[in-house]
Amino acid sequence: MSELNLEMVKEDPNPARKKHNARVEIDGALCKECLLCIEACAPDVLKVSETLNKMGYHPVEYIGDGCTGCGVCFYVCPEPGTIKVYKKIKAA
């Protein structure tokens, strides 16, 4: 059983934005700026930050809304602890 709803992945599934109660948290200190998540994100809600982290990378950040909670970014991210996806917003 896949935890990803692949239907969501194909096209921007969320043109209206904010319909989904989901969000993504990115720990900027752990991001190595490989940009695989940005490339994979269908609703295109991730961007590169202008700040630098301690490793010298510009970490990726969430633009703040539009996340569908599909989890693709989590699975393509090679760092274990960088991305955390809340599929429903009720989780604090």
Partner 1 sequence: MVKDILEKPESFYEIFERKSGSNKLTTHYCPGCGHGVIHKLIAEAMDEFGIGDRAVMISPVGCSVFAYYYFDCGNVQAPHGRAPAVATGIKRAIPDSIVISYQGDGDLAGIGGNEILHAANRGENITVFFVNNAIYGMTGSQMAPTTLIGQKTTTTPYGRSARNEGYPIKVCELLSSLEAPVYLERVAITDAKNVMKVRKAIRKGLQNQIEGKGFSLIEILSPCPTGWGMKPVDAKNWVDEVLMKTFQLGVFKDKTAEAAPEIIEQKEFTSDEILKILGASKNGSDFLYDKPEVKINYQNPRIKISGFGGQGILFLGQLLSQSAMRSGYYTTWLPSYGPEVRGGTANCHIIISNNRIGSPLGAETDVLIAMNLPSLDKFENDVRKDGLILVNSSLISRNVKRNDVEVLYVPATELADEVGNTKVANLVMLGAYTAKSKIFSHDCVLFTANETVKKKEFLKVNEEAFRKGMEYVLNNKHKKIKNTIL
The binding site for partner 1 (CB under 8 A) comprises: 1-4, 6, 9, 29-30, 32-36, 39-40, 54-55, 57, 71-72, 74-88, 91
CB of 68 to partner 1, least distance (A): 13
CB of 3 to partner 1, least distance (A): 6
Nearer to partner 1, 66 or 82 (CB): 82
- The candidate with the shortest Cα–Cα distance to 32, out of 15, 6, 52, 10, is 52
**Residue 41's closest CA among 71, 3, 78, 64?**
71
